[in-house]
Homo-oligomer: A and B are copies of this chain.
Amino acid sequence: MDEIPERLTVKPSWLITQLAVHARRLVFDGFAAAGARGYHYRILAALHEFGPASQAELGRRCRVDRSDVVTAVNQLVEQGVVDRTPDPDHGRRNKVTLTPDGVQQLRRMDQLLDQVQDDLLEPLSAEDRQTLTRLLGRVLAHHESP
């Protein structure tokens, strides 16, 4: 490989965005085996953890735009992993529900993701992995709270 300008390699913003490229590639390749994408996992995870929800709710919980939730839920319905029904208590709202197939799909994706985490942090000791995770969590939380 060619040498990278030091101006870049020294900057946390570079390290984070470049590492994110590799992380997204690993995740993408993993999910490709299950015919799914990142948005799908986020939504399935939110449904499994908090139960049925409206699309707007899903969007807020998963950091996905309302309009992108529409597309993703369309695909998830098509795959039979979620159901979309009108909310009886609310004319406009939809209720999105996880199907049994969806639960199974989520478990499969969880296993794939666990492997990805391992590949991603391969060169780090268990302790370093924990440190990195903690620091990243602190920084991310700071940029989401205000």
Partner-B contacts on A (CB < 8 A): 1-13, 15-24, 26-27, 42, 45-46, 48-50, 57, 60-63, 110, 113, 116-117, 120-124, 128-129, 131-133, 135-145
Say yes or no: A128 contacts B133, CB within 8 Å: no
A119 to nearest B CB, angstroms? 9
Distance in angstroms between the alpha carbons of A132 and B138 in the assembled complex? 11
A-B contact pairs, 30 of them (CB 8 A): A1-B60, A1-B145, A2-B60, A4-B61, A5-B50, A5-B61, A7-B48, A7-B110, A8-B42, A8-B45, A10-B133, A12-B117, A12-B133, A13-B23, A13-B113, A13-B116, A15-B133, A15-B136, A15-B137, A16-B19, A17-B20, A17-B27, A20-B20, A120-B139, A120-B143, A123-B138, A123-B141, A128-B135, A131-B131, A132-B136
Going nearest first, the 5 A-B pairs with the smallest beta carbon separation are A20-B20, A2-B60, A15-B136, A123-B142, A5-B45
Say yes or no: A61 contacts B139, CB within 8 Å: no
Residue of B4, B6, B11, B110 touching A113 (CB-CB under 8 A): B11
- Known: A11-B113, A113-B11, A117-B13. Is A62-B136 also a contact (CB below 8 A)? no
